[in-house]
Structure 1
């Protein structure tokens, strides 16, 4: 069985969903420390032909807290602001009418916990893209939470009966192949090559949120991107 484990990112780039689509079980790694200025609560969309960073405001966020202990600042008007920005930026995109209601549903989801909020969004996008991968939550898996880094990843894999662990290519420096092989787990990495598609008339800007991919591509085309083999 092939397993992947990643921290929850809000509406991440297509590579995140490619990782989900390539495994049997995907674990949302929500019981590790929050990282400020990371991609947990922010990403980029296309605004005026440039990458625009949007952020989900958080309440008392700290790197001393676990991701699943962080709450969204419900007093902020960020939801209306983000939806308005998306609507103005993508209204003329070819798949706006199909995609915008999904994004509106995701952003409007009434949940204060950032981890649960993101997990809902990931599952909703997976439904749209017909990704059938089993999605589990790390904090709900019984394990030794005193373990850190690679050791904790390996234990989760063992608990799930994994024979392969798949990670993004950016994690190559984090893991030792032999440590996984010693536990009868094959460590593999997914390629990081970008996809290209038409974005209005501007020069293509890669690695934007999945929002951008969905606005400019049919679900069938996105599935083809996800299924391209570059392990």
Structure 2
């Protein structure tokens, strides 16, 4: 049987498309040995408020650490988790499923509030969200599959293909943005097909306030739709090669 693997950097409370991609895979590999990128999704995401989208950002140490990897990035200062919980509660207290869903979000964030490393925070919250959405998949770390010290220096496409192979993949599933740079040759040499996510046509769901904002954390979906959230994650992926 085909085994689909996703290899990606960890994100902070990702949007529903990220979990849709994971739902359609058989395993997730967290690629956190690569360079941490500022103003990206590693340590922040957005929620919807009455004033518009609002960033929730985990403060991290970056001064003098321009080449640090995601799994080397330390959280700067306490109190961020409590601030995020206050922001979520303020924004969603009138959401249809706030009373039922906020407690598990509160437990998940409180559990990682004292964690010093960003990668551990992200993984713990990803696992908690997977459990809430009924997504049962192994979550693997890149350094558990290949030597951690060798990973940063590898060609990016070769690294992805090697990690997918080490995770037993016959198919590699990627976000569509990677079409601009992914080299299919390392996958082809290993007999691994490449498939692409297509985020077009995702169904809207009831949100607070007028209009619809798709580019927000999955907590928006869950607090607004509750048990219906898994059915609203997205749509099937395309199996066409790049």
Report the TM-score range of the alignment, normalised by the length of the smaller protein.
Answer: over 0.9
Deviations 1:18-43 (A, max 9, x none): 11111111101111110011110011
How far the C-alpha of 1:74 sits from its partner, in A, is 2.8
Task: Using the TM superposition, give the Cα deviation of residue 44 of structure 1 relative to its aligned residue in structure 2, in angstroms.
Answer: 0.6
For 1:121, the equivalent position in structure 2 comes to: 125
- Displacement, 1:111? 1.1
| Pairing of 1:1-231 with structure 2 (within 5 A) | 1-60=3-62, 62-75=65-78, 77-108=79-110, 109=112, 110-143=114-147, 144-145=150-151, 146-193=153-200, 194-219=202-227, 221-226=228-233, 228-231=235-238
After TM superposition, give the deviation of residue 7 of structure 1 in Å: 0.5
Q: Check whether the contact 2:206–2:224 (CA below 8 A) recurs between aligned residues.
A: yes
Q: Is the 8 A contact 2:50 2:209 kept in 1?
A: no
Q: Which runs of 5+ in 2 are unaligned?
A: none
Q: Higher mean Cα deviation, 179-188 or 127-136? A: 179-188
Q: 1:225 to 1:178 in 2, by over 3 A?
A: farther
Q: Secondary structure at 1:80's aligned position in 2?
A: helix
Unaligned runs of 5+ in 1: none
**Equivalents in 2 of 1:164, 1:37: separation in Å?**
30
Figure out how many residues of one structure are paired with residues of the other and give that number: 229
What do the CA deviations read for 1:64-106 (whole angstroms, capped 9, x no partner)?
A: 111111111134x322222111111101101111221122122
Moved more, 196-205 or 26-35: 196-205
How far has the Cα of 1:227 moved from its partner?
6.2
Contact 1:165 1:187 in 2 (8 A): yes
Shift of 1:2: 0.8
**Structure 1 runs of 4+ with >4 Å offset:** none
Q: C-alpha distance in 2, partners of 1:179/1:148?
A: 10
Alpha-carbon distance, 1:49 to partner: 4.7
Q: Separation in 2 of the partners of 1:82 and 1:160?
A: 34
Task: State the SS of the aligned residue for 1:59.
Answer: coil
